A and B are shown apart, each in its own frame.
Chain A
Amino acid sequence: AQSVTQLDSQVPVFEEAPVELRCNYSSSVSVYLFWYVQYPNQGLQLLLKYLSGSTLVESINGFEAEFNKSQTSFHLRKPSVHISDTAEYFCAVINFGNEKLTFGTGTRLTIIP
């Protein structure tokens, strides 16, 4: 069985400061990893994904995440946040050959002006 842990339920950050949202997963087989973002009053949107190849993946709006197999982590980072990054962020994992995503409990990112 696969599982995802997001230890931080809320992360307040000053505008233009860096941020890291933590994600750890557990699986007995190889996985695909995703970060989804949910802006206020909207559904989830894919932010970035790791499938294979380079362990560092980037989104179009400045976020990046690094797959670390030895630490079973997929932390999300941004060097300088903006008010528009205020949202809830969900880490998700899927095993090879499986149809079902398993989501973490989410991290609410609040940007302080």
Chain B
Amino acid sequence: DVKVTQSSRYLVKRTGEKVFLECVQDMDHENMFWYRQDPGLGLRLIYFSYDVKMKEKGDIPEGYSVSREKKERFSLILESASTNQTSMYLCASSFATGVHEQYFGPGTRLTVT
């Protein structure tokens, strides 16, 4: 079974703090994704990566950055957390070729106070 794990289920941070969200997959997937999920808005893509050290902006990259130093790990960074970044963050991964089915982690619920 594909396994995508996220470092924390719940996280509380203060405004202005630097926040790291970690995601690890064990299926040797080339593609990895970070989404945020908000009520009434569904899932919105923040960033994705199709290879080590490669990244592309998604639909809402402002206020976020990412890092992919190893194939299995994809980190989302909030340089200076703000209250409007309070959300559920979901990581996903997929193979690069063929059908683009994505496998999701359990999510991290981040609260910025």
Interface positions of A (Cβ within 8 A of B): 6, 9, 32, 34, 36, 41-46, 49, 51, 90, 94, 98-101, 103-106
Q: How far is the CA of A43 from the CA of B103 in the complex (A)?
A: 9
Are B41 and A51 touching (Cβ within 8 A)?
no
Residues of B within 8 A of A6 (CB): 42
Nearest chain B CB to A44 CB, angstrom units: 4
Given contacts A44-B90, A99-B48, A99-B50, contact A105 B101 (CB under 8 A): no
Q: How far is the CA of A98 from the CA of B58 in the complex (A)?
A: 13
Q: How far is the CA of A64 from the CA of B52 in the complex (A)?
A: 37
Q: How far is the CA of A6 from the CA of B90 in the complex (A)?
A: 20
Are B104 and A44 touching (Cβ within 8 A)?
yes
Interface positions of B (Cβ within 8 A of A): 4, 31, 35, 40-45, 48, 50, 58, 90, 92, 96, 99-107
Nearest 3 pairs of A and B residues by beta carbon = A43-B104, A105-B42, A103-B43
Residues of A within 8 A of B44 (CB): 103
Q: How far is the CA of A101 from the CA of B92 in the complex (A)?
A: 11
Residues of A within 8 A of B102 (CB): 46, 101
Given contacts A32-B99, A99-B31, A99-B48, contact A45 B41 (CB under 8 A): no
Give me 18 other A-B pairs in contact (C-beta within 8 A), A32-B100, A44-B43 excluded: A6-B42, A9-B40, A32-B99, A42-B106, A43-B90, A44-B90, A44-B92, A49-B101, A94-B100, A98-B100, A99-B48, A99-B50, A99-B100, A100-B45, A101-B100, A103-B35, A105-B41, A105-B42
Q: How far is the CA of A32 from the CA of B14 in the complex (A)?
A: 41
Q: How far is the CA of A48 from the CA of B44 in the complex (A)?
A: 20
Residues of A within 8 A of B107 (CB): 42-43
Q: How far is the CA of A94 from the CA of B40 in the complex (A)?
A: 21
Q: How far is the CA of A90 from the CA of B101 in the complex (A)?
A: 14
Are B42 and A106 touching (Cβ within 8 A)?
yes
Residues of A within 8 A of B48 (CB): 99-100
Residues of A within 8 A of B40 (CB): 9, 105
Q: How far is the CA of A45 from the CA of B1 in the complex (A)?
A: 12
* Subset of 29 A-B contacts with CB under 8 Å: A6-B42, A32-B99, A36-B104, A41-B106, A42-B106, A43-B90, A43-B104, A43-B105, A44-B43, A44-B90, A44-B104, A45-B104, A46-B101, A46-B102, A46-B103, A51-B99, A90-B42, A90-B43, A94-B100, A98-B100, A99-B31, A99-B48, A99-B50, A99-B100, A100-B58, A101-B100, A103-B44, A105-B41, A106-B42
